[in-house]
Structure 1
Amino acid sequence: MPDNGDLRGVESTPRQDTQVRVFAVPPREDAAPPDIVQGFLEALTSDDPHYETAKLYLTKAAASEWDPEASTTVLADGPATTADPAGGREDGTDYSFTLTGDRIALVDSQQSYAPAVGDYARQVHLTKDQKTGQWRIDGLPPGVVMGQSDFQRNYTSVNKYYFASNAAAESGTQPAAVADPVYVRRRVDPMTQMVNSLLAGPTTWLDPVVRSSFPSGTELAKGVTSLTTDDQNKLTVPLNAKAAQVGLTKCNEMAAQLLFTLRTLTPAVDRVELQASNRQLCVLNEESAETVAARGSAERPDYLYFLDGEHRLVRIAGGSKETSADPVPGPLGTGGRALRSVAVSRDESTAAGVGIDGKGLYIGSMVSDDPLGEPVVVSQGKTEDDRLTTPSWDTHGDLWVADRDPGHPRLLLFQNGEGEPIEVGTPGLDGRIDSLKVAADGVRIALVVEKGNRQSLLVGRIERDDKAGEQPVVTVREMRSATPKLSQITTMSWAGDSRLVVVGREQEGVQQMSYVQVDGSVPEVPAPDALTGVKEIAASEDERLPLVAYSEDGIVRMATGGQWQKVVKEGTSPVYPG
């Protein structure tokens, strides 16, 4: 303790959460079979890049055949080991164990995550080497297996980006960038992992609706095993000869894919330079990449919209702290037709609203005073809950809505927000669509599907066939669950390129608000602060904008890192464009 001198204020140092790291340890001499199995399982959770230490627990033949990249099985807890009585005696020449646990997820060879349920039971067989007398594993399940906590410590979710190919975009418009989330090992050169994953192409689920600008067969140049940025935050990526003949436009798209991908992993990449055959192909910076392709998370809406106490469409500036709203220009803002729900086109020029009784869908301009006209579709449902859902606009100006009429449930699409609706196919859908929201990229759609007393949040892939005739055939395929644990979904909204915000509850649980990834995993971001009585939620793909909700307190909003604050008491149906 000092006994003289003046008093001076010092800044406190925030406590740093240390990252736990596991270092693989080779098998010790004369280790018993249980120790061999346990040591092998622990080595799987280490940061050993090529699992070289884990392979020391295997026989030479097993080590050459084992492919740790084939899959990663995630269990609720670490795998339990049970000696198999039929597998031999410890003092004999063979021995076996059964690995057991409760499955949570499976990450496949493309690094794609999928929730999984059910018991896990796989056998590990050991043999005693006749020459050395050491026990080694000669039979094991494919890939690697670990507990959930080890998976969260070892892996991180990153979006890689491709371009939408199934949307009817006009000639000359920007392609839409589509996020394809994958899991990579967070401390094993993740940058190089992501570049290799991007070059390998999209995951199987997304592949039918996206394209890559990298020519088929493009890989890193021979001998390039690691990529790092220079002191100017520029990443140089040498490619093989497959990319040597691309033009500047195509090269800029390739560089944009890389920049979008790597910026979700680290902010330390400002520019990308592509090379092939020892020459520069192109250089692209972050600002220029936004002019190459449209990305939902980079599109900042001008306004937040909602319905006021008189059921008129009103708006306030997006991201502002204003609490007074103004009616939108055009017929939906004059109050001539009372509305129960609305959606605003992504260019903020047109709005669609469902009448107060839920029967009719109306489309009106927000740049002119043209009269509203007759509804473009009318539901025959007997009750309000059996009529039209809240509509949603995609990035190409098409309008989506579902009719919940039990006698004729259907998903409808209005091309360019006009004309006769196209009935969208939903093969494999088991239940009735209760609500929907189209992603900014126009190739994915989130659906809340109700069957009996249970609701599920599904994400489907939008496929279009424009060659079938004058009217395209549109189908939503391979719908997969994003919230397998929730049995009731109150409301949901896209909140990023591959993320949704969901309000719902587990079986016999309480209402909760959380973020989920489209692949069903939980993102590494804190859940929003709790809010009582949430009825509707609105988020923008631009994560800088506030989260907005309609609750028992009216319209409220919460900026990033802030708390919920009231906007207006009388208001419903908050939405951002989309």
Structure 2
Amino acid sequence: MGADRDGGARRSRPGRAVACAAFGAVLLAGCASMPDSGDLSDVASTPRQDTQVRVFAMPPREDALPGEIVQGFLEALTSDDPHYDTARKYLTDDAARTWRPERSTTVLETGPSIELQRGSGGRENADSLTYSLSGTSVATVDAQQAYSPAGGQYGKPVHLVRDTKTDQWRIDGLPQGIVMAKSDFQRNYMSVNKYYFASDIAAGDQPAAVADPVYVRERVDPMTQVVRSLLAGPTTWLGPAVRSSFPAGTELRKGVTSLTPDDQNRLTVPLDVTAKKAGAARCTEMATQLLFTLQTLTPTVDSVELEAADGSSLCTLGEGAAEGVAAHGSAKRPEYVYFLDDRHRLVRVPAGSSATTPEPVPGALGEGVKQLGSVAVSRDEHTAAGVSLDGRSLYVASVASSGSLGEPVLTSDGKTADNALTAPSWDSRGDLWVADRDPAHTRLVLLAQGAGQPLVVRTPQLDGRIAALRVAADGTRIALVVEKDGKRSLLVGRIQRLEAGPGKQPVVSVLGLRSVAPGLEDVTAMSWAGDGRLVVAGHEQGGLQQMRYVQVDGSVPEGQAPAALTGVKQIAASEDDRMPLVAYSEDGIVRLPSGTQWQKLVKSGSGPVYPG
């Protein structure tokens, strides 16, 4: 289950850790013998189990060898034991009390290799041994449950002692957190979007819901895990751009250990005394955050009721009402998909239909007054922005009625189309974004409401030149394709707006840039494809072009990648994942309806876009 997902099962993975299965539970046995030598031994990942099967670990056997203790402990980390009680049985009492598995999860390419270390400083004797764990890092999940891609080598020591009374080996020194293979991580964890509200929405505007992906253990009461995570607040990366309607410090009522919806799909969430500070309007926003967060979980939640510490009802909200409280990008269905025809005019076909005959949009951009090289249509589908074929001029015109084109709202001094303006993008506030690639004057530009004095956006962390951009529907994040040394990578940053005083332009910055497709060294096209997901086409090192979904935290969501397509030059996706992907490729403009193969829309054309 993923935060933005298409469904589909994970790949099966071989392994050897299963000992037995009974009544729907699989037991992991820490029983593989390991000689006390310096040879390397890998911890095999757990075989793929049915998602309804819970996996439990076996405690250490009597007189287990030191290597068995280490391997059994590592295998116990991949089980569905809620509090890792079995894993703690491999530790001494002191180590069990101080070990904090929730502090972090380190994900390795394969299971950690184990090697016995001798003569490493005097700790080793007949009753004391040190093993080293090593592997290639893939990612880390921190204490906030936030995922981050990682590289390089992992290496940590594990120290064992033999108890003088019981003569049993136990671990007395180990790193905080847990470590496991990528295959085990994929089996054990699921990505879920928590939802907060954009913090810089103008007074009177509807709040915009912003997705904040986290990873929780899939078969260890994920609903309660996610609610606790939501109450704890946004992750560090997203925090500066969003707010939560839950009063600071709000927690579940003391004694509440699990949350389950009733037979009417209503979830009651008992909160502590802090929640009493919220008024009715704020409580409705709190319930909206919960409903948006729980929408992809099983069992289904159709409504939530928030309870105060004394058991009284604070508010109740249904799924339909939540959509009216906050703007939710993935809930807005576009009317049309747009592209440029062979005469470089802006045309459209109804979104989600089987229509193959495009019609020009009303107004100057559809009349061919100026040949266009790229376009963007506002999210209300009333206005469009078009960059001229030579890339040097940006025009804005209505697509809801006829009218003249007027003068360009922005120009570039770039000598070629590749060194001039990028395709533009509209945010949820109605502001227009575009990058100027002129080598002598590279800049990221914002035009408030698509007009007026251009504002240069600050990009203090940008290392390279922006080759393409797309603003998320929530208006708080922007995806950038950044070119440097002949390679193009995909980055996502936070948008920060600071008012500068009466009569002055605000200060707008893009901060916190991070790579979200580290496996691709040359990105050719991308688009937002959900609240927290993008679709990207690009090349791995020395490989053929491929298309995949990536999440804003850099992880790859569960489910199948889009069907292969040759020579993708541009791609368009809607935040509403019911809409088909549309691409410009060697075969012209093509689209990918759900559950089918790519279908030709028109033979000649370019620049497909959904609103935004």
Using the size of structure 2 for normalisation, the TM-score is 0.90
Name the structure 1 match of 2:93: 60
Task: State the alpha-carbon separation in 1 of the partners of residues 518 and 277 from structure 2.
Answer: 46
Structure 1, unmatched stretches of 5+, are: 1-14
Task: State the alpha-carbon separation in 2 of the partners of residues 347 and 564 from structure 1.
Answer: 28
Instruction: Check if 1:489 corresponds to 2:517.
Output: no
The one of 177, 192, 207 aligned to 2:209? 177
Instruction: Check if 1:366 corresponds to 2:407.
Output: no
What is the total number of aligned residue pairs between the two structures?
562
Name the structure 2 match of 1:101: 135
Task: State the alpha-carbon separation in 2 of the partners of residues 209 and 518 from structure 1.
Answer: 14
Residue 173 (structure 1) shift: 2.5
Name the structure 2 match of 1:424: 457
Name the structure 1 match of 2:226: 194
Residue 368 (structure 1) shift: 3.0
Name the structure 2 match of 1:499: 533
The one of 232, 238, 242 aligned to 1:206? 238
Name the structure 2 match of 1:73: 106
The one of 291, 316, 327 aligned to 1:294? 327
Task: State the alpha-carbon separation in 2 of the partners of residues 501 and 539 from structure 1.
Answer: 7
Would you identify which runs of 4 or more consecutive aligned residues in structure 1 move more than 6 Å? 88-91
Q: Deviations over 1:103-146 (max 9, x none)?
A: 00000000000000000000001111122111111110110000
- SS of alignment partner, residue 130 of structure 1: coil
Q: Deviations over 1:490-546 (max 9, x none)?
A: 100000000000000011110001101111100012001001111110000000001
Q: Deviations over 1:194-243 (max 9, x none)?
A: 00000000000000010000011110011101000101111000001111
Name the structure 1 match of 2:73: 40
Task: State the alpha-carbon separation in 1 of the partners of residues 403 and 600 from structure 2.
Answer: 34
Task: State the alpha-carbon separation in 2 of the partners of residues 107 and 344 from structure 1.
Answer: 37
Across the aligned residues of Structure 1 and Structure 2, the Cα RMSD in angstroms comes to 1.5
Task: State the alpha-carbon separation in 2 of the partners of residues 17 and 514 from structure 1.
Answer: 25
- SS of alignment partner, residue 426 of structure 1: coil
Q: Deviations over 1:372-392 (max 9, x none)?
A: 111111111122111100000
- SS of alignment partner, residue 500 of structure 1: strand
Identity between Structure 1 and Structure 2 (%): 65
Instruction: Check if 1:317 corresponds to 2:350.
Output: yes
Task: State the alpha-carbon separation in 1 of the partners of residues 233 and 50 from structure 2.
Answer: 35
8 Å CA contact 2:124, 2:130 repeated in 1 = no
Name the structure 1 match of 2:303: 271
Instruction: Check if 1:82 corresponds to 2:86.
Output: no
Task: State the alpha-carbon separation in 1 of the partners of residues 151 and 568 from structure 2.
Answer: 30
Q: Deviations over 1:312-367 (max 9, x none)?
A: 11111111111111111111111101001000000111100000101101011122
Name the structure 2 match of 1:221: 253
Task: State the alpha-carbon separation in 1 of the partners of residues 602 and 295 from structure 2.
Answer: 37
Instruction: Check if 1:577 corresponds to 2:611.
Output: yes
8 Å CA contact 1:33, 1:90 repeated in 2 = no
Matches within 5 A, 1:513-528: 513-528=547-562
8 Å CA contact 2:261, 2:299 repeated in 1 = no
Name the structure 1 match of 2:270: 238
- SS of alignment partner, residue 240 of structure 2: helix
Instruction: Check if 1:477 corresponds to 2:511.
Output: yes
- SS of alignment partner, residue 291 of structure 2: helix
Residue 22 (structure 1) shift: 3.3
The aligned amino acid for 1:210 is V
The one of 131, 139, 154 aligned to 2:188? 154
Residue 245 (structure 1) shift: 3.6
Residue 267 (structure 1) shift: 5.8
Matches within 5 A, 1:536-575: 536-575=570-609
Name the structure 1 match of 2:283: 251
Name the structure 2 match of 1:385: 418
Task: State the alpha-carbon separation in 1 of the partners of residues 104 and 301 from structure 2.
Answer: 29
- SS of alignment partner, residue 527 of structure 1: coil
The one of 548, 564, 568 aligned to 1:534? 568
Q: Deviations over 1:14-69 (max 9, x none)?
A: x9973465321111111111011001000000000001111111111111111000
- SS of alignment partner, residue 22 of structure 1: strand
8 Å CA contact 2:136, 2:154 repeated in 1 = yes
Task: State the alpha-carbon separation in 2 of the partners of residues 225 and 498 from structure 1.
Answer: 29
Name the structure 1 match of 2:367: 334
Residue 89 (structure 1) shift: 9.2
The aligned amino acid for 2:143 is S
Task: State the alpha-carbon separation in 1 of the partners of residues 356 and 438 from structure 2.
Answer: 37
Task: State the alpha-carbon separation in 1 of the partners of residues 463 and 83 from structure 2.
Answer: 43
Instruction: Check if 1:134 corresponds to 2:171.
Output: no
Residue 166 (structure 1) shift: 2.3
Task: State the alpha-carbon separation in 2 of the partners of residues 267 and 185 from structure 1.
Answer: 16
Name the structure 1 match of 2:21: none
Name the structure 2 match of 1:11: none
- SS of alignment partner, residue 23 of structure 1: strand
Q: Deviations over 1:286-317 (max 9, x none)?
A: 11110010111001111111111111111111
